[in-house]
Structure formats: C-alpha cells, structure tokens
C-alpha cells in the first residue's frame, strides 16, 4: 500500500509511522486521516508488528492541527459529518487498537494534533513541545474527542480552562498534569519511544490486547469495566501465550510469545 502523506518504516516488530507534511506542519486533512486509518489498520492486522510509534516529520510539529482551509466553508451538517468520520476512521480506532501506539510528540500538537496524541496509548514529548486545543479561538470546539479525552487525563476543571482559554501549555506542564508520560530532550525523543516499544514487544501480545480492552472499558458509557476485566483475564488462560509465559516462569527462562 502506497501513502502520499506518510513514511512507514520497520525495525523488527516495531513499526514507525511518520506524518510527512512538514511544509504544512503535518496538519490533518481528510486525505491524511484516511491514510493514517489505513496504515494503522494495516499494522493492527500484521502479527509481525507488536508496537507502533506515531510521529510527525521535522522538528517543529507532531501535528499542528487540522487543515482549516478544508472546512472553513462547511455547513452544520458537513461539520457533524467531518467529526463523526474522524472519530470512526482514526481517533476512536487508534484508542481501540490492540497493538500499542506510542505518540512521539516532537513539537506543536494543537487541536487535532493533541487529539491524535491523546488517542494513542502512550505519549512521549520532546522538551520543546507545545500542546493545546485552540478551537474556540476559531469559533468552534474540539471535534475529534478532545472535550472527552482531555478531561479524562487532567480533570474537568483543567480541561475546561485549557479549552476555554485556547492557550498552549509546555511539555513540562503537560507532563505534570498527567497528559504526557515522559518529556525528554528532542534529540532523545525517538530513542525513548523505541526503548518503551522494546519493553512492550517482549511481552505477550494476547495479554496486552486484553489489558487495553479492559482499561478502555472504564471510559465506555454503560460498560462495567470490572466485568470486562474478568472476561479478558479469563480469556488469556486459553492462549498459547499464557502457557508459554507460565512455563517460562517455572523454567526460569525468558518467554517467547507467539501472539496466539
């Protein structure tokens, strides 16, 4: 599959997806969202891929926001469709992936860029990164899950302050609020993400997928997260990975997980 706006690279079981529109600060438009959806779906369905790093080309931006020129003339109905399609194709899909996705936030992550980073399972920022949801300064609100996920990460009051003031915060501030897992110097950003990915890759893909499903259940309306955890826990017992993991532990050796 060829991509006009992405660069795909592989290192063993790790796949890196780079949004390659540096002249537009990697802004999201419909074409980029569709390509990201396809590339991430491809990674999810490839048993050889155990972790994904998602980043932006250049040193200025992860994703500096949505491509405003694409929707500035939209009607109410067109705006709703744009949001709904984005949720389905990309933002909710990333969150539900069983393959962990690490966002390497290498600069500005604004609007849709921060929403994309929040959809990922783990976020690592360079120390020069700036993040925010400035949509109200354009007369609109975050439309790709920002109002929901930001409050989940940093609490209702802080989320409302960030959204209503439209202000950017530093990587350090985002880390202190729990929005970023780690902040590192820019030259160490990918190294840190690879380090985390390698730790993930050596563990059971079956168990990781079950854990993601159970954690996500906590934030799904009308779903009992504890019941999902119980079911997911039990399902692991029938897997080859469980047999390999427990056998390796008893034999005092490192496990070799198949992902089955």
Tens digits of residue pLDDT in 125-157 = 999 999 999 999 999 999 999 999 999 999 999
* 1 confidence band (pLDDT: 50, 70, 90): confident
Domain that holds residue 234: 205-250
91 contact partners, CB below 8 Å, separation of at least 6: 115, 116, 119, 144, 145
Q: Is 257 contained in some domain? A: no
Kindly state the average pLDDT of the residues 91-116.
97
Q: Is 255 contained in some domain? A: no
- What pLDDT is attached to residue 70? 83
Please give the tally of structural domains in the chain. 2
Lowest mean pLDDT among 63-72, 94-103, 180-189: 63-72
Catalytic residue among 115, 161, 188, 251: 115
The question of whether 115 is a catalytic residue gets the answer: yes
Same domain, 39 and 78: yes
Q: Is 44 contained in some domain? A: yes
* 71 confidence band (pLDDT: 50, 70, 90): confident
- What pLDDT is attached to residue 221? 86
Burial of 4 (0-12, 13-18, 19+ CB in 10 A): exposed
C-beta of residue 129 within 8 angstroms of C-beta of residue 108? yes
List, edge to edge, every strand of the sheet that includes 108-110. Answer: 61-63, 108-110, 130-132, 169-170
Q: Is 240 contained in some domain? A: yes
Same domain, 63 and 32: yes
Interior angle at CA 38, CA 204 and CA 117, nearest 5: 70
C-beta of residue 171 within 8 angstroms of C-beta of residue 125? yes
Same domain, 40 and 108: yes
pLDDT, greater one: 73 or 92: 92
Catalytic residue among 70, 135, 173, 191: 135
How far apart CA 72 and CA 68 sit, in angstroms, is: 6
């Amino acid at each position: 599959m060829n991509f006009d706006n992405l660069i795909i690279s592989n290192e063993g079981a790790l796949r890196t997806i780079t949004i390659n529109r540096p002249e537009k600060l990697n802004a999201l438009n419909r074409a980029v969202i569709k390509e990201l959806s396809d590339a991430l779906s491809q990674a999810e369905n490839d048993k050889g891929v155990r972790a994904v790093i998602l980043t932006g080309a250049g040193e200025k931006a992860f994703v500096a926001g949505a491509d405003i020129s694409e929707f500035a003339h939209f009607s109410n109905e067109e705006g709703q469709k744009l949001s709904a399609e984005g949720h389905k194709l990309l933002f909710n899909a990333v969150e539900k992936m069983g393959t962990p996705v690490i966002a390497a936030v290498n600069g500005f992550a604004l609007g849709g860029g921060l929403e994309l980073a929040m959809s990922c399972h783990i976020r690592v920022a360079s120390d020069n990164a700036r993040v925010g949801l400035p949509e109200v300064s354009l007369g609109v609100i975050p439309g790709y899950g920002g109002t929901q996920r930001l409050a989940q990460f940093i609490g209702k009051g802080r989320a409302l302050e960030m959204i209503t003031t439209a202000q950017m915060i530093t990587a350090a501030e985002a880390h202190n609020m729990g929005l970023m897992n780690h902040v590192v110097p820019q030259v160490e950003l990918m190294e840190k993400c690879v380090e985390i990915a390698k730790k993930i890759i050596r563990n059971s893909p079956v168990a990781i997928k079950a854990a993601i499903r159970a954690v996500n259940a906590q934030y799904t309306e009308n779903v009992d997260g504890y019941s999902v955890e119980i079911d997911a826990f039990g399902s692991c017992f029938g897997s080859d990975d469980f047999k390999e993991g427990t056998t390796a532990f008893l034999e005092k050796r490192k496990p070799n997980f198949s992902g089955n």
